[in-house]
Amino acid sequence: MPDDAKTTNRLHWEAQEKELAALMDKAMQPGGQKAVERLAKQGKKPVRELIGQLIDPATDFFELGVIAGFGMNYPEVEDVPCGGLVFGLGKIHGNWTLILANDSRIKAGTYFPITLKKHMRAQAIAERCGLNCVYISDSGGAFLPMQAEIFPDDQQFGSIFYNMARMSAKGLKQITLSTGGNTAGGAYIVFMACEAVMIDKLAYSFLGGPPLVKAATGEVISAEDLGGAKVHTGISGGADHFCKSQDEAVGKVRELLSMEKPRRPLIHREDPQAPKLPPESIYENLPVNIYQGIRIREILPALADGGIFLEYKKEYARGRGDNIVCGKMRIGGIPVGVIASNGAGIIFTQSARKATEWIIRCSHEKIPLLFLQNSPGYMVGSASEHEGIGKYGADMVRAVACAQVPRIQVAIGPDHGAANYGMCGRAYRPHFLFHTMRSRTSVMSGLSAASVLLTIEEKKREAAGKPMQEPEKQAFREKMAEKYGGEAHPFYCGARLYNDRVLKFDEIRKWLVMALEVSLLEPIGEPSFGNLRF
């Protein structure tokens, strides 16, 4: 690629990532400095500061779902920054731990539908990867104007406590640090914990607060006397540890997890090596035009240890089999099987067959899979149908669905149609799914959708005797392209938790190391591919 094109690419993606950084800052600082000062008056610190104290010194907190909750347009609330909830992965005494915290700066920590979805996603990661959970709880329970979308169904409020019970039964500790008021459903995050820590004159927990108690029984009582830390640690037994400050409480949680058995990834791991190419090369080698073909072999050396990539069937069906590149490399010393889109990314019959074989091989070898997604879909047309694109594409989808090894997807371009399935999109339950600012996830591209919908609209208008004029057609195309393009954007997808995080290109490798380590803490089962037919 010419140097001027590389410079153009790099400057474009750096500008895009500045927009991402601005949105993340907005999510992490709801209410600005005034909100922080308001917390300080209550004797509280922002939750991310508490998390920083909780994890091991000089280690990172890998926060997920940061841009969740923007543009939701709920009744009375347009945005729920960060979904009202902070969650991610950090090490406590060397062990990966799931940490989940209510942010009381956002509607007093109440739960919206997106808050529940985020909470449930956090618990799903913890249960699947066998992680202990720490809940920093400060919640007013359900956002009452939306109770019908929050309370009664599966995967709504009750599922939080169901999950806590099930994980505790599996031996995954559920530790709650109560840093504020926990009312109604919020109270169960305290009471359902294996062990709960409460802070004097700061933490409260009750099924009904003083106003409800007065209305129901006529009793007049303070929050402290009804369900304060002294009540629940000294009288009711609803909590287990009494602390006088947030700092003491954080130390207590670390102490409770201090005797956990050290856990390491269950795979042969070599000493990590630096990649051959710097991360800047990723910026330079990914075109500004999202639908322009890429050379994935120029990207992989910036991710692989030592830049070493052992390619599988490199010469197979050049031009068709080459649209998916398969092989092995190590990331942070951990072996991983790669299925990566190449060129225009369209999946031909030969590409699908190669990918299917590779997924099955890696499953039998019990090594994790990394999908680098840049595909607009499977090839259409009579030639492809006659070659069996439907069957061999379905085989690829079956293999992805049945692969028992950890699977991670990173979308670095188009992510449309059935290619989303074959490259391990959200419905195929990857252990982690990351987008970049170049990703676009939807049933088809905005331009394709506009073309299809225009054809339908033209027929309707002709049947009504009101054929569309060219200016109307152009306006319709632009409207549909904008709608579908907007719904495919990583900000839209991140707001709705269709991904776990939108990554900058230069942090992909670091996040993959974390994701591989966490995903490999549980044993890998034996392969079984059900109704896959060769």
What 8-state DSSP symbol labels residue 262? P
SS3 276: coil
Neighbours of 115 (CB within 10 A): 27
Residue with tokens 């009312």: 183
SS3 118: helix
Q: Which of 354, 290, 347 minimizes the C-alpha distance to 327?
A: 354
Tokens of 207: 């099924």
Cα separation, 418 vs 351, in Å, equals 14
Cα separation, 239 vs 191, in Å, equals 7
Residue with tokens 């209550």: 42
SS3 218: coil
Element containing residue 422 per DSSP (H, E): helix 417-422
Tokens of 371: 């999908």
Tokens of 363: 């499953």
Residues 6 or more apart whose CB falls under 8 angstroms from that of 293 comprise 287, 342, 343, 344, 345
**b/e code 47-65 from CB counts within 10 Å (16+ = b):** bbebbeebbeeeeeebbbb
pLDDT at 534 (0 to 100):
53
Tokens of 45: 């610190």
Residues 6 or more apart whose CB falls under 8 angstroms from that of 152 comprise none
What 8-state DSSP symbol labels residue 79? -
Per-residue pLDDT of the chain (534 residues; tens, 9 = 90+): 788 999 999 999 999 999 999 999 999 999 999 999 999 999 999 999 999 999 999 999 999 999 999 999 998 899 999 999 999 999 999 999 999 999 999 999 999 999 999 999 999 999 999 999 999 999 988 998 999 999 999 988 999 999 999 999 999 999 999 999 998 888 999 999 999 999 999 999 998 889 889 999 999 999 999 999 999 999 999 999 999 999 999 999 999 999 999 999 999 999 999 999 999 999 999 999 999 999 999 999 999 999 999 999 999 877 787 999 999 999 999 999 999 999 999 999 999 999 999 999 999 999 999 999 999 999 999 999 999 999 999 999 999 999 999 999 999 999 999 999 999 999 999 999 999 999 999 998 878 888 888 888 889 988 889 898 888 889 888 888 888 889 999 999 999 999 999 999 999 999 999 999 999 999 999 999 987 765
pLDDT at 97 (0 to 100):
98
Neighbours of 259 (CB within 10 A): 7
pLDDT at 533 (0 to 100):
60
